[in-house]
Amino acid sequence: MKGLVYERNVARFAMARVASSFGGSGRAAALGPLRLSDVDPPDLPGPDWVRVQPILAGICGSDLATVDGRSSRYFEDLVSFPFVPGHEVVGVVSEPGDSAGDATSGPPAGTRVVVEPVLGCVARAIVPPCPACAEGRVGGCERVAFGHVAPGLQIGYCADTGGGWSAAGLVAHASQLHVVPDHLSDEEAVMVEPTACAVHAALGAGVEPGDTVAVIGAGTLGLATIAALRHLTQPGTVLAGAKHPHQRRLAEEMGADVVVPPDQLARAVRRQARSLVTSGHLTGGADVVLDCVGSAESIAQALAMVRPRGRVALIGMPGVERVDLAPLWHREIQLAGAYAYGTERTTSGPRRTFDIALDVVVANRLGRLVSARYPIERFEEAMAHAGSAGRRGAVKIVFDLRSRRGPAGHGTKGSGA
């Protein structure tokens, strides 16, 4: 069966980096270590594991960074090669665990599921679990390179599990599966994983009632973050920076009060906070800034528009960036990462991030952000579309494992699909 495989190849990684620098994000897929190949189904690592046949699998910013040769070397020992990418997955259980349907072996065959891809201690059969996993914070697992499964932060970066970009399917531990309600479309279901990242960030950013909150970026992650902020917290004003007209329209629909082009966001925050400006920075600013881009420019922008002792949440995955941290030191700004998901503390008690994300997806009809579907055989076109999604009027690009047809539009007008 055909699948996309990412191999350890330093020369092709370097070629992809050069090509993406000149051709744009996603344009280097044909030159880099990603290739279409015959793929065997992965073996089941244990009795509590199941096989999942992907239906839709998304392309996210971290996938693009990997294909473009721009991912950080920090991850080298936290992945295993060769791996099949694809961690934003809705699929169908094709082979259940040894005791199908019980609490430890997952749902029976034919059940539609969303995969929670982080490979924590439970999936790795590590006993006792690390402190983070013991608290349900699987995104903070300390054992992602250990246990009976090959190193890998998540399914889609692990040689033993397969990933969503393959007709051969993947394997997942029963604890990683979330049954998809019948009323949810496949497009809505594939949005649950990126929305879970946004939910974790929104709940962890320390937004207080009445706060002024700025969101940098209005791609998939930025739009889902705005939706999560409005659904789960009580900000006074949400401001968003969005490059393209369709992004500005969607940001308003998700609940942003003020939406402007990125280069006008600091000015909008200044007006909202009634701040002065000195040395290119606001003297006051937003209480919380959520950076959904993760570039040197966006981090610098966040530090320039947050108030003294304010909070910046870094949600978009960064690489090696050069940023002046003098304002962070001088203004005592809190800068924190927001990675993945697990269990969130809510007013009604602990709750799985994916369960909360499903509510946000339904409430905001986030399935409409799926702009185009591609068969895996057309991966070069798909990656190029994902890399230029904003400019082409699209948001989320996915692989469709159900058919061999070309891309089909779903919701976002002018997606170019």
Tell me if 93 sits within 8 A of 177, measured CB to CB. Answer: yes
pLDDT at residue 407 tops 60: no
State the greatest distance between any 2 C-alpha atoms of the chain, in Å, as a whole number.
Answer: 65
Whether residue 128 is preceded by a cis peptide bond, meaning omega within 30 degrees of 0, is: yes
Q: What per-residue confidence (pLDDT) applies to 9?
A: 86
Tell me if 368 sits within 8 A of 253, measured CB to CB. Answer: no
Q: In this structure, are strands 370-374 and 396-400 parallel, antiparallel, or unpaired?
A: parallel
Q: What is the pLDDT of residues 205-233, one digit of tens each?
A: 999 999 999 999 999 999 999 999 999 99
Q: In this structure, are strands 258-260 and 237-241 parallel, antiparallel, or unpaired?
A: parallel
Domain ranges of the chain: 2-190, 197-342
The mean pLDDT of 29-53, rounded to a whole number, is 94
Q: Give the DSSP letter of residue 170.
A: E
The mean pLDDT of 311-319, rounded to a whole number, is 96
pLDDT at residue 156 tops 90: yes
The mean pLDDT of 291-316, rounded to a whole number, is 97
Token pair of 393 as six digits: 């009027």
Q: What are phi and psi of 249, to 5 degrees?
A: -65, -45
% of the chain with per-residue pLDDT over 70: 94
Contacts of 150 (CB under 8 A, 6+ apart): 80, 158, 159, 160
Token pair of 172 as six digits: 């997942």
Mean per-residue pLDDT of the chain: 93
- In sequence order, the β-bridge partners of residue 212 are 237
Q: What per-residue confidence (pLDDT) applies to 28?
A: 79
The mean pLDDT of 405-409, rounded to a whole number, is 42
Tell me if 289 sits within 8 A of 281, measured CB to CB. Answer: no
Confidence of residue 30 (pLDDT cuts 50, 70, 90): confident
The model scores a pTM over 0.85: yes
Provide the CATH topology of domain 2-190: Quinone Oxidoreductase; Chain A, domain 1 (3.90.180)
Indicate left, alpha or beta for 206 from its phi (over 0: left) and psi (-120 to 50: alpha).
left
Confidence of residue 20 (pLDDT cuts 50, 70, 90): confident
Q: What is the pLDDT of residues 167-191, one digit of tens each?
A: 999 999 999 999 999 999 999 999 9
User: How far, in Å, CA of 362 to CA of 276, rounded?
Assistant: 40
pLDDT at residue 97 tops 80: no
Q: What per-residue confidence (pLDDT) applies to 102?
A: 52
SS3 assignment, position 81: coil
Confidence of residue 105 (pLDDT cuts 50, 70, 90): low
Q: What is the pLDDT of residues 326-380, one digit of tens each?
A: 999 999 999 999 999 999 999 889 999 999 999 999 999 999 999 999 999 999 9
Counting every residue written for the chain, the total comes to 417
CATH class of 197-342: alpha beta
% of the chain with per-residue pLDDT over 90: 85
Tell me if 74 sits within 8 A of 319, measured CB to CB. Answer: no
Q: What per-residue confidence (pLDDT) applies to 27?
A: 85
pLDDT at residue 144 tops 90: yes
